């Protein structure tokens, strides 16, 4: 989704407009998250940008999108640009412990492990 949302519409409460924008962004993320992940990938991640315009937008993680929309609205801007693009991701796996390594707590002496 690449979209510029108007934040000030004549005859409408600005708080309700802001809530509708946030709802649409969350709804898009839920809809994209329900899609089947391609073979070989684990889950969907999002590339996000938020700002006053497409050129002035800053890259961020999805968890920061709504607070940044609030910050743009507090500046009194007439519109807010939001870009949320889904991408399939492979979950990073922890490397296995080397052979012979003890996987106990590191604060105990060797004879107690």
Q: How many C-beta atoms lie closer than 10 Å to residue 98's C-beta?
A: 6
pLDDT given for residue 94 in this prediction: 79
> Span 16-21, mean pLDDT?
97
Number of domains in the chain: 1
Query: What residues does 57 pair with on adjacent strands?
Result: none
The answer on pLDDT for 111 being more than 90 is: no
Which structural domain, as residue segments, surrounds residue 66?
A: 2-89
Would 105 be classed as within a structural domain? no
Would 113 be classed as within a structural domain? no
Q: Read off the pLDDT of residues 56-94 as tens digits, 9 standing for 90 and up.
A: 999 999 999 999 999 999 999 999 999 999 999 999 887
Would 70 be classed as within a structural domain? yes
Would 106 be classed as within a structural domain? no
In 3D space, the residue among 31, 30, 5, 33 whose CA is nearest the CA of residue 17 turns out to be: 5
Would 96 be classed as within a structural domain? no
């Amino acid at each position: 989704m690449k979209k510029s949302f108007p934040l000030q519409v004549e005859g409408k409460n600005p708080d309700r407009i802001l809530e509708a924008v946030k709802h649409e962004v969350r709804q898009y993320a839920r809809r994209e998250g329900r899609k089947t992940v391609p073979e070989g990938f684990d889950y969907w991640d999002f590339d996000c940008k938020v700002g006053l315009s497409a050129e002035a937008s800053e890259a961020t993680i999805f968890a920061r999108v709504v607070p940044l929309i609030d910050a743009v609205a507090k500046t009194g801007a007439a519109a807010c640009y939001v870009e949320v693009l889904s991408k399939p991701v492979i979950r990073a796996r922890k490397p296995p412990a080397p052979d012979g390594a003890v996987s106990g707590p590191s604060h105990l002496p060797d004879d107690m492990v």
